[in-house]
Structure 1
């Protein structure tokens, strides 16, 4: 998908949740109810528009959940750990103040500092790395978020919508669903296929993308290790002189 359409990946994530919900619940809905509901064009368009609108906040929420999980303070990526190693072991003896300052930081602040140093090392104009590498990295991140959301969250949200739909439909229309054993088996088989494809194929590939991101970030940092070490040393030493600047 071209980079200019990258934003669509998040809308597609929410749409997958809605599609999974519809595919799973359709075998249980009485055919007469479907025929009566969709007999009027205006009703059909209203239902489709409502489902499309529902998919937008779902996609955004799922995207934010994945971002918060994989960029949390407890999940430092390998490149960040290499930078931490620079701070703790590769800064000269005269940089003890910087190391001491780093060790006083909370886990959250350490993660924030390492993330900002990683951005400095990866995206600095003086890094000598081709711009196409940065585009590739951004593209891999975008693919990872979307595939992780589709592979893990979309089927979970879909089955939650499925349960809500069953409860609401039964409460509003007593004869909305038919729970014959054949219909239940078909619906169960559909959900089994959805989860198998999502978790085994889509989510499995997202793990590979995550590993690509980790290797690529680390390679960028380590390919200019000495220059990056000097940059990290300068930043840490100056920041250590004014820790009060970084108090909330």
Structure 2
């Protein structure tokens, strides 16, 4: 539907994969609402998008908090209009063997990674229903496909996102809304380097990447290109799908 105004909310859009997604969606013709906690990084990203000829707004949003999300939606509506694309890239990573994970840590990971995806989706679905068109895309994790040691809370939260994709694809498909997810593999971001620095990647990023079929680590633009495709008109017959972008770490 070429008359649909493309307004995209990108959570976690100030840095890393989220920032690259903002760039790719802007290049594809979307106006961008950047939802994040880092105000300075959001301002820089918004300036970049504006320089590309698209509208942009920034919203300080904690996606685990419903009131914060409501304020973000209100500001997005005021600045850009109704939301027709939502990419949930915000998330937190956590590691530790099961016997060292306390209940508070488990709850925090679930609150951001899984409940956050649910709450943001609830906030944008009415706009998409009104438009009769929508794209919902979650950033999950290849760790939820393969399993991974010492991060059961993180893996469980991202596995929930993959299951959420399937459930909502069935529920929202009749309303013109597709729901998909992209599970990154080893993507070079500040979060990955931090994990490497804390000893969470035995041998380091480059050594582990050398064992992948493609023999290299991924870059944020690899993820962003997949997301931009799923957000496009051309992807309108794809829903409930997990589009693995992982250099061959996991074969669907």
- TM value normalised by structure 1: 0.24
User: Relative contact order (alpha carbons < 8 A, sep ≥ 6): 1 or 2 greater?
Assistant: 1
Rg larger in structure: 1
Quick check: which one's strand share is greater? 2
- TM value normalised by structure 2: 0.24
Quick check: which one's helix share is greater? 1
